[in-house]
């Protein structure tokens, strides 16, 4: 398969894999670009299975990236959260956030949880869970045995379920809660916001040392309430807000002077009735791609 055909056929797929692996659109784009630069130099007529070959190139680069990124994230100021995948359109967009169907997008909460996996565990879990690759295909891509890939997936699945018995997905149930959260915030009613939370709710914010954010995850509804009471009085809302799809699930983008100020996304409880975890991304480096 020649370079242009491969690029047109697999760029979006590789971008989706790389983003799920790295949690960064910018790094995913860099990895995919490097893959295609290398692929363009190969004698592609000798490659029996171009799709498997090019996915293997991408997966290996992502694994190397994740192994080196782990130390950088340990030195990161405050909590590290993935770059949100924000979209305001359902189709026909050239925005990087619309590279694949929203229904297939890993929820933001699950993307956060994937950080607990090793790079190889994450690769196996993503290829199997998100893209429904057969174990034989994953084994070929990662250079492992099929039995080993099954064990790796089982181990990764167990790790994730220890964190949450029900893995978070992209559910339409988030829409009314996100809308209610925004309405309560606009009205300045912290009590209304808190009423949407579970008793043991969490709030994690990522400023990356570039803007003020809570260094540690805030635990418990009362502490989350105290935090929200403080920030709502200090321009938390910016000057405009918009509902958006954040990793395929309804969330909120806040603006100031026309520029994205922060995104808020939610993890719901198992019943889908209350907010269990609030994720706030304030690091401006992670908001650059938002329209």
How many independent structural domains does the chain possess?
2
* Chain centroid, CA 252 distance in Å: 15
Q: Mean pLDDT across the stretch 171-187?
A: 85
Q: Which of 146, 137, 132, 160 is nearest to 55 (CA)?
A: 137
- Asked whether the predicted pLDDT for residue 27 surpasses 90, the reply is yes
CB 31 within 8 A of CB 61: yes
Q: What is the pLDDT of residue 97?
A: 39
181 & 213 share domain: yes
Domain with 156 in it = 3-78+105-163
CB 20 within 8 A of CB 126: yes
Buried b (16+ CB within 10 A) or exposed e, 161-174: eeebeeebbbeeeb
37 & 137 share domain: yes
Report the distance separating Cα 279 and Cα 268, nearest Å: 11
CB 264 within 8 A of CB 249: no
198 & 240 share domain: yes
Q: Mean pLDDT across the stretch 163-186?
A: 85
Per this entry, what is the length of the chain?
A: 291
Confidence of residue 104 (pLDDT cuts 50, 70, 90): low
130 & 157 share domain: yes
240 & 279 share domain: yes
Q: Mean pLDDT across the stretch 189-210?
A: 91
- The mean pLDDT value of the chain amounts to 88
At a CB cut-off of 8 Å and minimum separation 6, what does 175 contact?
250
Q: What is the pLDDT of residue 93?
A: 44
- CATH number for the domain that contains residue 52: 1.20.140.160
Q: What is the pLDDT of residue 235?
A: 77
CB 27 within 8 A of CB 65: yes
Q: What is the pLDDT of residue 89?
A: 60
Buried b (16+ CB within 10 A) or exposed e, 225-253: bebbeebbeeebbbeebeebbbbbbbbbb
Q: What is the pLDDT of residue 143?
A: 92
Q: What is the pLDDT of residue 166?
A: 80
Q: Which of 117, 15, 105, 32 is nearest to 66 (CA)?
A: 117
- Asked whether the predicted pLDDT for residue 282 surpasses 60, the reply is yes
Confidence of residue 190 (pLDDT cuts 50, 70, 90): confident
From 99-103, 147-151, 156-160, 188-192, the region with the lowest mean pLDDT:
99-103
230 & 186 share domain: yes
Q: Coil, strand or helix: which one is 281?
A: strand
Q: What is the pLDDT of residue 96?
A: 40
Report the distance separating Cα 123 and Cα 62, nearest Å: 8
Q: What is the pLDDT of residue 102?
A: 42
At a CB cut-off of 8 Å and minimum separation 6, what does 229 contact?
190
- CATH number for the domain that contains residue 215: 3.10.450.50
Report the distance separating Cα 216 and Cα 222, nearest Å: 16
Q: Which of 197, 248, 255 is nearest to 222 (CA)?
A: 197
Q: What is the pLDDT of residue 36?
A: 95
Beta bridge partners of 87: 245
Q: What is the pLDDT of residue 99?
A: 38
Choose the final residue of a domain: 132, 163, 194.
Answer: 163
Q: What is the pLDDT of residue 186?
A: 81
Buried b (16+ CB within 10 A) or exposed e, 83-115: bbbbbeeeeeeeebbbbbebeebbbbbbbbbbe
143 & 219 share domain: no
Q: For residue 56, what are its two tokens?
A: 């293997």
User: What tens digit of pLDDT does each residue of 51-79 get?
Assistant: 999 999 999 999 999 988 877 887 889 99
151 & 196 share domain: no
- Asked whether the predicted pLDDT for residue 98 surpasses 70, the reply is no
- Asked whether the predicted pLDDT for residue 194 surpasses 50, the reply is yes
Per-residue DSSP letter, 169: -
């Amino acid at each position: 398969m020649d370079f242009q055909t491969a690029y047109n056929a697999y760029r979006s797929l590789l971008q989706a894999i790389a983003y799920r692996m790295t949690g960064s659109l910018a790094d995913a784009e860099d990895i995919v670009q490097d893959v295609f630069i290398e692929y363009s130099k190969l004698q592609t007529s000798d490659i029996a299975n171009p799709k498997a070959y090019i996915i293997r190139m991408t997966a290996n680069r992502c694994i190397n990236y994740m192994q080196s990124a782990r130390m950088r994230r340990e030195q990161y100021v405050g909590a590290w959260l993935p770059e949100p995948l924000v979209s305001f359109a359902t189709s026909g967009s050239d925005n990087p956030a619309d590279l694949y169907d929203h229904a297939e997008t890993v929820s933001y909460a699950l993307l956060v949880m994937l950080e607990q996996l090793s790079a190889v565990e994450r690769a196996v879990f993503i290829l199997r869970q998100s893209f429904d690759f057969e174990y034989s295909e994953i084994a070929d891509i990662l250079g492992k045995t099929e039995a080993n890939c099954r064990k790796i997936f089982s181990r990764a699945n167990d790790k994730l379920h220890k964190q949450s018995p029900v893995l978070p997905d992209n559910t339409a149930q988030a829409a009314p809660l996100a809308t209610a959260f925004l309405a309560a915030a606009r009205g300045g009613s912290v009590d209304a916001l808190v009423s949407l939370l579970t008793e043991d709710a969490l709030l994690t914010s990522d400023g990356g040392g570039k803007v003020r954010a809570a260094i540690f995850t805030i635990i418990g509804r009362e502490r989350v309430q105290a935090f929200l009471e403080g920030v709502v009085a200090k321009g938390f809302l910016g000057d405009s807000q918009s509902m958006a799809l954040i990793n395929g699930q309804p969330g909120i983008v806040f603006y100031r002077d026309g520029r994205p100020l922060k995104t808020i996304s939610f993890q719901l409880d198992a019943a889908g009735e209350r907010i269990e975890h609030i994720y706030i991304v304030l690091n401006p480096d992670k908001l650059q791609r938002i329209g």
